Amino acid sequence: MEGVVAGIDRDEVLHVARLARLELSDDEVARFQEQLSAILQAVSKVSELDLSDVPPTAHPLELENAWAEDEPRPCLPLDDVFANAPDRDGDYFRVPPA
């Protein structure tokens, strides 16, 4: 099938890691390139089947719209919300400059 490649090169590993916001060491890049290539080769098996008339399944239950009344409920107190925060500034999570 078009688009399926058996393997992933070093630049693609770095590209995907950037998309996923993962810093990788050189060792990790080499290890993951080899392992991901083997895994991609194995999962490419899905392209063997003729699926032209088969619709996709996104969810195993055929549910349509789970309705709920739009009733306000109390949310967590702010001290709970920030209880696990690495850094806080008043009612904000504090992070390094962008």
Name the site residues for other proteins (rule: CB under 8 A).
Answer: 1-4, 8, 12-13, 16-17, 19-25, 28, 31-32, 35-36, 38-40, 42-49, 51, 54-61, 63, 66, 68, 76, 80-81, 83-87, 93, 95-98
Residues 40 and 13: their CA atoms lie apart, in Å, by: 12
Q: Closest separation between CB of residue 17 and other proteins, Å?
A: 6
Minimal distance, residue 81 CB to other proteins, in Å = 8
Collapsing DSSP to helix, strand or coil, 89 comes out as strand
Residue 8 and residue 98: Cα distance in Å, rounded? 31
Contacts of 44 (CB under 8 A, 6+ apart): 4, 5, 6
- Cβ distance to other proteins smaller for residue 66 or 91: 66
Report the nearest approach of other proteins to the CB of residue 90 (Å): 15
CB 5 within 8 A of CB 40: yes
